[in-house]
Amino acid sequence: MGMWSIGAGALGAAALALFLANTDVFLPKSRRATLEYLEDIDLKTLEKEPRTFKAKELWEKNGAVIMAVRRPGCFLCREEAADLSSLKPKLDELGVPLYAVVKEQIRTEVKDFQPYFKGEIFLDEKKKFYGPQKRKMVFMGFVRLGVWYNFFRAWNGGFSGNLEGEGFILGGVFVVGPGKQGLLLEHREKEFGDKVNLVSVLEAARKIQPQTSASETK
């Protein structure tokens, strides 16, 4: 009887742990970024002779949609990149550029990611776009039903990837208006494969009010 009680208790504890792992109770908490925080981020171009510049250059005149890529070789990230790229014709009509930032450049990982993403890609070595409070998901990600659903969705969509690079720091998507219009959308990935809503991205992009120069207003 004692062994049965121990076994039942262990089974109950495991069931409770599995249940809690599939709620938002233990998900890493995020802190919203401010425009000032994002503006001051240092980014690098991926050329042979990289140029370092402040992130605000990306959206200063026309705003921007920016994907903070968790890992270029991840098939879930490639799926989201392809989804965002499907919006590019509409973003082009609005005059809003599409960009991505990565946190590391390993071998051909960024090059292999480019067929999925139809915008320029920059390096965020200090991982600032993944902050101000960096969030990680490690082993809990593999017991979440939502993550497994995302896995199967991407596999069924024909996406594949590899295990190169750091993939535990969660990414996100931002829509930023020009000048001081500020953040119009901030999507923080809560688990592996938690994609941004494309309708929300377009709605935010349509709110962008491009900056006009003094000569244009005369």
User: What's the rounded Cα separation, in Å, for the pair 208 and 84?
Assistant: 17
Catalytic residue (choose from 74, 87, 101, 205): 74
Strands 98-102, 42-44: pairing kind: unpaired
For residues 56 and 39, the answer to whether their CB atoms sit within 8 Å is: yes
Catalytic residue (choose from 77, 98, 185, 196): 77
Q: Active-site residue 186, yes or no?
A: no
- Bridge partners of 52, per DSSP, are 44
Q: Active-site residue 109, yes or no?
A: no
| DSSP state at residue 24 | S
For residues 119 and 88, the answer to whether their CB atoms sit within 8 Å is: yes
Please report how many Cα atoms fall inside a 13 Å half-sphere around the Cα of residue 180, on the Cβ side: 0
Q: And the tokens for 17?
A: 């742990």
Three-state DSSP string of 43-63: EECCCCCCCEEEHHHHCCCCC
Please report how many Cα atoms fall inside a 13 Å half-sphere around the Cα of residue 182, on the Cβ side: 4
CA angle centred on 208, ends 203 and 214, rounded to 5°: 165
Active-site annotation, residues: 74, 77
